[in-house]
Structure 1
């Protein structure tokens, strides 16, 4: 038997051990619970989703099944909490929505009018004025407003004695936006109207003075104009945004 140096056998045994280690490590799946000094990129479709042990989705980011891109946060129950984009209707122009625990939208931007607030609704402060017994233009309610919504919602009532006609109208910075009348054949008229604002004349964050006027146009006696509320609200149709 030829002589084999002992150190050569030791080297062969050492190489065998290293090969076995490399083979074992090649079959191990690396830990995927950390990303250090790098980015995770989700592109060309797909989503990153986090779920509770019970299967409730609490976080999602990426491309929705409807084709738009968005981010969603949900509570442990799976109820929506905050969404950017919409995984139900991709026509909603990447709206931001914040949801209450009861499932109601409490904060959002406007779906159709870019740059305007959708919710919460904002009341326009109105100061009471006088009753109407004159045929002259009389300012009844006035308020200084900061434009946040694309639409004003007016609710009120005109009351007058039989045979008396009254005209009521709303101006914004002196421009008439809407008018309502109590005819001489009636004693009560209800007011409930949505009034889209001009994006050119009243962009978001601009200021304006809202005034509700009244004038008796026929008959005699004293009428009363009750303004129950003047609110800024979101659009509900695309035509209100133009």
Structure 2
């Protein structure tokens, strides 16, 4: 009787288990697989066909979502996230050993000739740069170069009509950079308008404050 009961349990398989201490270790060619009700393997942790360990996560349709897999060129493992069409949208550059492989990021260049910098002669704050951005990070990090042709002035950042951070005071004849990292308090995913404003505080309308950005980016807290 006991033998028959044991045989039935083995045939049914493990229906539920709880680990209260220690962990689950998969050795050699063992693997962990999760299959949905339609027969699609949505999670696989274990060796690939070449014997390398990896992780694959798929959508219920079978298309890739995330993977950690072997790269033959570097003989190392890389991680990647995939869109529904099967394109890698985020991954590390395992062949270089550091940094991103995807996505490609634009590296903007700015005018090196100060005579081509955006400027204002206004004695009241005027927008020199303006744009609408989608918030992706909790903090912004910026750096702007400031110069003049015969006057002092002030520079500030406005977000949706409200000043963010302190007012930068510029002294005539002292070209310098304004750098600041600040928490903006905007909701992640929201869209807001940013304006970099400047004004002259001395001189006449023939004098101007000129500005050129050297960095503006979202960063972590």
TM-score class, shorter: 0.5 to 0.7
CA displacement at 1:169 relative to structure 2: 0.9
Structure number with the higher strand fraction is 2
Query: After superposition, what is the alpha-carbon deviation per residue over 1:149-180, rounded to whole angstroms, capped at 9, x for unaligned?
Result: 22222222100135x22111111111211332
Q: Aligned pair count?
A: 157
CA distance in 1, matches of 2:199, 2:212: 14
Change in 2 beyond 3 A, CA 1:107/1:152: farther
List alignment gaps of at least 5 residues for structure 1: 1-36, 62-70, 85-96, 109-118
CA displacement at 1:131 relative to structure 2: 2.0
1:104 equivalent in structure 2: 98
1:50 aligned residue (47, 54, 57): 47
SS of the equivalent of 1:103 reads: coil
User: What TM-score comes out, normalization by structure 1 length?
Assistant: 0.51
Query: After superposition, what is the alpha-carbon deviation per residue over 1:98-155, rounded to whole angstroms, capped at 9, x for unaligned?
Result: 21232334289xxxxxxxxxx876889xxx9952222111111100111122222222
CA contact (8 A) 1:144 1:209 kept: yes
CA displacement at 1:203 relative to structure 2: 1.6
List alignment gaps of at least 5 residues for structure 2: 1-12, 32-45, 57-66, 82-89, 109-115
CA distance in 2, matches of 1:60, 1:130: 51
Structure number with the higher helix fraction is 1
1:161 aligned residue (149, 165, 170): 149
1:208 equivalent in structure 2: 192
> Based on CA coordinates, which of the two structures has the bigger radius of gyration?
1
CA contact (8 A) 1:123 1:230 kept: no
Q: Is 1:222 matched with 2:208? A: yes
User: What TM-score comes out, normalization by structure 2 length?
Assistant: 0.55
CA distance in 1, matches of 2:181, 2:187: 17
Kindly report the root-mean-square deviation, in angstroms, between the aligned alpha carbons of the 2 structures: 4.0
Q: Is 1:192 matched with 2:179? A: yes
1:149 equivalent in structure 2: 137
